């Protein structure tokens, strides 16, 4: 169960795992995620499904703390202790016209199946992929296969446009072509900034939120966010929401709730395993 | 020297009630071990001799699963603990759990003849403690004997949820020769027994041992499987399951909908307890799941979950733990034993207080809650006096962690993905009371998902009824003869919860 069939490094600190999970592979839809425990003593973490075929699913994971570090130190042939899913509401996929799919950093991974689904629904898809530098740009080839046009941005200008995804989005909007919808996935600050660009122009914008989660089935409320002044659970009402309604500031602060403990656990792991 | 059977009722009533040893409060708030330490064999035998062996025993009717209490108690008095275990297991497959968490003071012990004779519920025959003694004794012996199993019936049953209702259905049906697979959403079995009830009230080891016993009997367990997401109910029926039992519980936390409720440090009791119990956050960083480092914790609520939350917070190192409840102690739904333990452990009770909003600092972390004093007015729908706010009585209680423990409702995941399943407005699955049949052919349900948040033993009772009906359905295949499932989503929804809302 949950065997890592293949593992490759896409960028420094970013790995792609092909995991055997037949039932999840069979029922997954774009936009859904899984809850993973790499080892038997691990915490539960949400990871978006970045694709898959046959009996496997694809997870693209950036090392940011202990649990993702534990995963990074696993090799093909080993098995993840627990993988639960597919969870969350599927992404809303419909024929709209031209849609812009924005993936920031690791957000490109979950953006990919959504871009693919939107394209299959007859939309014209423009993808904007952004990263700090060219090493951290991932899945460019895959995105090129499902998007009609791909715009790359890097903070340092080492590849594509120099600047943020919002800069590229602004330019795109100014080109004049009507954009029916923007889908943005990436760090919370990035999604917030994208919404600030689209809000005055009234371009519908969907975001995929990545809060802390424990069970992933709506049982605890740990993942709750405020959307349009109402409390919503990301794991069962989301992860996709109307970006213009999301209280990003609150979400960002809730995401930082365990920063001290996370840092301690990560540091201890690094000292023990890689010191 | 008369044998115990020859003693008169008068002599039995004079026997001293055996006190079960408990960990001292100052000691036990530093560990997660059980508080009551169990009877010795001598204590158990003596306590059992206090039973009057009534010919018309009211205790049996008081038990939701009808355990033959006088018989197992007599067997303990005789020193035949194995026979006592067998007697209990005729009706209850999880005695180590029920002996610990059943509210016996509301079920068997309250109607006990000794209670009546001595005019004191506290001095009834300690039926619960005796049940626990027998179960623990049997477990310590090593191997509980496996009953002989009939030859396979060829029928397959899917049980959704591995909490008390699901485990009961699985145990009953496997013993009748049916193939049973239990689908559990989490990575460990037990449901609320493992994520909700703390280690110090119900050691997880006990639950896992019961599950191992079921596995030895042939029950298959599939974890990380969310029926409704991983596979729908319809798909499971298509996969060849002849019947399905839904025991998914009341896993949707209720929040107060107050300003500041999404501040950092405000938890639902489910989250707080799941982190601590299931994910062992009390061992962080040895376990990887963190929990807030709290100095002052305020728990809102008055039920067992509120007590569990408060007592867990105390053990996690909080300096002060407050329990905030809008009515008075008399109206608290929690077991009096747990209220007593909580007070002993130094939890500060703020009764007749209700929160109006939560206050946070610039990091969006909770720093306090505004409380309003209440007074008791006329009785409400639950029969208890309704709390009425006293205008202008607001004050602020400082706290860096708040746990909202005001109840749980039906998790909507199942109903959302199975439109053929009729539910009440609150999301509870509607069933026929005799057979636990739902509106979907081949699908039964029981436990908290039907009753609303209730007790382990009631869930087991529902599971028992469902198992009987499932066995009959597997045999004769008749569905349409069942009494009609009452209309659910009309103006008069079924209000199933027997436990009063706090």
Tens digit of each residue's pLDDT (9 = 90 or more) over B224-264 = 999 999 999 999 999 999 999 999 999 899 999 999 999 99
| Residue B229 near residue B239, CB atoms below 8 Å | no
Higher pLDDT, B478 or B222: B222
**Partner A contacted by B81 (CB < 8 A):** no
Of B185, B223, B271, the CB nearest to A220: B271
Query: How many Å lie between the alpha carbon of A28 and the closest alpha carbon of chain B?
Result: 8
Q: What is the DSSP letter of B390?
A: -
For residue B335, how many C-alpha atoms fall within 13 Å in the half-sphere facing its CB? 19
To probe the interface with A, which of B288, B291, B400, B417 has the most A CB atoms within 10 Å? B288
Query: How many Å lie between the alpha carbon of B280 and the closest alpha carbon of chain A?
Result: 9
Give the C-alpha separation, B363 to A232, whole Å.
Answer: 21
Q: What value does the mean pLDDT of chain B take?
A: 91
Q: Which residues of A touch B270 (CB under 8 A)?
A: 219-221
Tens digit of each residue's pLDDT (9 = 90 or more) over B387-438 = 999 999 999 999 999 999 999 999 888 888 898 999 999 999 999 988 999 9
**Partner A contacted by B434 (CB < 8 A):** no
Would the CB atoms of A43 and B270 count as touching at under 8 Å?
Answer: no
Give the C-alpha separation, B315 to B32, whole Å.
Answer: 7
Q: Are strands A33-37 and A82-87 parallel, antiparallel or unpaired?
A: antiparallel
Tens digit of each residue's pLDDT (9 = 90 or more) over B129-139 = 999 999 999 98
Tens digit of each residue's pLDDT (9 = 90 or more) over B298-312 = 999 999 999 999 999
Q: Which of B43, B2, B4 is nearest to B20 (CA)?
A: B43
> Band of the pLDDT at B501, cuts 50, 70, 90?
very low
Q: Which residues of B touch A268 (CB under 8 A)?
A: 285
> Band of the pLDDT at B385, cuts 50, 70, 90?
confident
Percent of chain B at pLDDT above 70?
95
Query: How many Å lie between the alpha carbon of A27 and the closest alpha carbon of chain B?
Result: 6
Percent of chain A at pLDDT above 90?
98
Put simply, the chain A residues between 44 and 83 with a CB less than 8 A from any chain B CB are 44, 66-67, 81-83
> Band of the pLDDT at B286, cuts 50, 70, 90?
confident
Q: Residue B284 pLDDT > 90, yes or no?
A: no
Q: Which residues of B touch A258 (CB under 8 A)?
A: 290
To probe the interface with A, which of B262, B291, B412 has the most A CB atoms within 10 Å? B262
Size of interface A-B (CB pairs under 8 A): 119
Q: Residue B1: what pLDDT? A: 61
Query: How many Å lie between the alpha carbon of B229 and the closest alpha carbon of chain A?
Result: 6
Tens digit of each residue's pLDDT (9 = 90 or more) over B170-198 = 999 999 999 999 999 999 999 999 999 99
Would the CB atoms of A258 and B290 count as touching at under 8 Å?
Answer: yes
Q: What value does the mean pLDDT of chain A take?
A: 96
Q: Residue B493 pLDDT > 60, yes or no?
A: no
**Partner A contacted by B264 (CB < 8 A):** yes
Give the C-alpha separation, B128 to B99, whole Å.
Answer: 5
**For residue A33, what is the nearest residue in chain B, using CA coordinates?**
B229
Q: Residue B485: what pLDDT? A: 58
Query: How many Å lie between the alpha carbon of B165 and the closest alpha carbon of chain A?
Result: 18
Q: What is the ipTM of this complex?
A: 0.95
Q: Residue B480: what pLDDT? A: 67
Q: Residue B22 pLDDT > 70, yes or no?
A: yes
Query: How many Å lie between the alpha carbon of B285 and the closest alpha carbon of chain A?
Result: 6
Of A23, A37, A253, the CB nearest to B230: A23
Q: Which residues of B touch A82 (CB under 8 A)?
A: 187, 223-224
Give the C-alpha separation, B5 to B1, whole Å.
Answer: 11
Q: How far is Cα of residue B38 from the mean position of the Cα atoms in its chain?
A: 20
**Partner A contacted by B220 (CB < 8 A):** no
**Partner A contacted by B187 (CB < 8 A):** yes
> Which H or E run contains A196?
helix A188-198
Tens digit of each residue's pLDDT (9 = 90 or more) over A72-126 = 999 999 999 999 999 999 999 999 999 999 999 999 999 999 999 999 999 999 9
Of B262, B270, B288, the CB nearest to A67: B288
Of A87, A254, A264, the CB nearest to B226: A87
Q: Which residues of B touch A220 (CB under 8 A)?
A: 253, 268, 270-271, 274
Query: Among A171-185, B3-17, B341-355, which stretch is predicted with the lowest mean pLDDT?
Result: B3-17
Query: What string of H, E and C letters represents the secondary structure of chain A?
Result: CCEEEEEEEEECCEEEEEEECHHHHHHCCCCCEEEEECCCCCCCEEEEEEEEECCEEEEEEECCCHHHHHHHCCCECEECCEEEEEECCCCCCCCCCEEEEEEEHHHHHHHHHHHHHHHHCCCEEEEEEEECCHHHCCCHHHHHHHCCEEEEEECCCCCCEECCHHHHHHHHHHCCCCCCEEEEECCHHHHHHHHHHHCCCCCCEEEECCCCCCCCCCCCCCCEEEECCEEEEHHHHCCEEEHHHECHHHHHHHHCCCHHHHHHHHHHHHHHHHC
Q: Which residues of B touch A221 (CB under 8 A)?
A: 253, 255, 267-268, 270-271
**For residue B224, what is the nearest residue in chain A, using CA coordinates?**
A84
This prediction's pTM: 0.93
Tens digit of each residue's pLDDT (9 = 90 or more) over B340-372 = 999 999 999 999 999 999 999 999 999 999 999
Give the C-alpha separation, A195 to B260, whole Å.
Answer: 24
**For residue B225, what is the nearest residue in chain A, using CA coordinates?**
A84
């Amino acid at each position: 169960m949950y065997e890592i069939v293949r593992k490759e490094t896409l960028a420094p600190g970013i790995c792609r795992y092909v995991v055997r999970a037949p039932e999840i592979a069979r029922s997954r839809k774009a936009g859904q995620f899984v809850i993973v425990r790499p080892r038997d003593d691990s915490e539960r973490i949400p990871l978006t499904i970045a694709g898959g075929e046959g009996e496997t699913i694809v997870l693209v994971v950036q090392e940011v703390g202990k649990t993702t570090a534990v995963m990074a130190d696993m090799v093909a042939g080993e098995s993840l202790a627990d993988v639960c899913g597919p969870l969350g509401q599927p992404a809303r996929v419909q024929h709209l016209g031209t849609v812009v799919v924005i993936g920031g950093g690791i957000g490109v991974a979950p953006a990919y199946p959504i871009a693919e689904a939107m394209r299959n629904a007859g939309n014209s898809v423009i993808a904007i992929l952004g990263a700090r530098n060219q090493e951290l740009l991932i899945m460019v080839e895959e995105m090129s296969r499902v998007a009609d046009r791909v715009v790359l941005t890097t903070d340092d200008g080492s590849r594509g446009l120099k600047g943020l995804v919002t800069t590229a989005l602004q330019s795109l909007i100014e080109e004049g072509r009507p954009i029916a919808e923007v889908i943005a996935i990436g760090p919370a600050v990035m999604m917030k900034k994208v919404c600030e660009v689209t809000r005055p122009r009234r371009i519908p914008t969907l975001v995929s939120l990545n809060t802390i989660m424990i069970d992933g089935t709506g049982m605890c409320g740990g993942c709750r966010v405020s959307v349009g002044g109402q409390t919503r659970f990301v794991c069962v009402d989301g992860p996709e929401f109307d970006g213009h309604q999301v209280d990003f500031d609150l979400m960002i602060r809730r995401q930082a709730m365990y920063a001290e403990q996370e840092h301690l656990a990560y540091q201890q792991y690094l000292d023990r395993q890689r010191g | 020297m008369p044998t115990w059977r020859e003693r008169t009722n008068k002599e039995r009533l004079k026997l001293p009630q055996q006190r079960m040893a408990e960990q001292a409060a100052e000691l036990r708030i530093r560990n997660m071990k059980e508080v009551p330490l169990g009877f010795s064999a001598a204590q158990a035998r003596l306590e059992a001799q206090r039973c009057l062996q009534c010919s018309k025993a009211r205790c049996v009717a008081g038990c939701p699963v009808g355990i033959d209490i006088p018989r197992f108690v007599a067997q303990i008095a005789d020193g035949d603990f194995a026979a006592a275990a067998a007697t209990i297991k005729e009706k209850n497959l999880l005695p180590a759990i029920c002996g610990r968490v059943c509210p016996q003071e509301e079920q068997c012990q309250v109607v006990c003849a000794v209670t009546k004779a001595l005019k004191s519920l506290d001095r009834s025959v300690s039926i619960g403690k005796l049940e626990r003694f027998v179960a623990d004794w049997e477990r310590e012996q090593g191997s509980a004997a496996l009953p002989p199993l009939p030859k396979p019936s060829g029928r397959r049953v899917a049980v959704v949820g591995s909490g008390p209702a699901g485990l009961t259905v699985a145990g009953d049906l496997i013993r009748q020769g049916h193939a049973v697979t239990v689908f559990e959403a989490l990575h460990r079995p037990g449901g609320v027994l493992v994520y909700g009830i703390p280690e110090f009230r119900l050691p997880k080891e006990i639950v896992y041992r019961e599950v191992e016993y079921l596995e030895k009997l042939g029950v298959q367990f599939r974890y990380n499987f969310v029926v409704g997401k991983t596979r729908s109910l319809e798909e499971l029926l298509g996969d060849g399951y002849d019947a399905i039992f839904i025991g998914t519980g009341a896993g949707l936390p209720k929040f107060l909908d107050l300003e500041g409720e999404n501040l950092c440090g405000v938890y639902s009791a489910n989250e707080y307890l799941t982190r601590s119990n299931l994910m062992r956050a009390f061992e962080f960083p040895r376990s990887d799941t963190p929990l807030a480092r709290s100095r002052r914790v305020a728990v809102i609520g008055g039920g067992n979950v509120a007590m569990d939350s408060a007592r867990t917070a105390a053990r996690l190192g909080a300096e002060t733990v407050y329990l905030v409840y809008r009515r008075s102690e008399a109206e608290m739904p929690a077991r009096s034993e747990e209220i007593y333990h909580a007070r002993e452990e130094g939890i500060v009770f703020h009764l007749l207080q209700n929160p109006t909003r939560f206050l946070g600092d610039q990091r969006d972390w909770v720093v306090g809650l505004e409380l309003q004093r209440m007074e008791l007015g006329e009785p409400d729908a639950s029969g208890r006096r309704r709390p009425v706010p006293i205008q202008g009585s607001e004050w602020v209680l400082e706290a860096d962690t708040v746990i909202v423990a005001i109840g749980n409702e039906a998790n909507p995941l199942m109903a959302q993905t199975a439109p053929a399943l009729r539910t009440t407005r609150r999301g509870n699955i509607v069933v026929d009371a005799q057979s636990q049949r739902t509106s979907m052919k081949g699908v039964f349900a029981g436990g908290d998902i039907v009753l609303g948040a209730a007790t382990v033993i009631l869930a087991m009772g529902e599971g028992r009824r469902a198992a009987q009906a499932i066995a009959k359905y597997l045999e004769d295949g008749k569905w349409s003869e069942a009494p009609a499932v009452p209309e659910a989503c009309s103006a008069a929804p079924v209000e199933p919860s027997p436990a009063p809302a706090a």
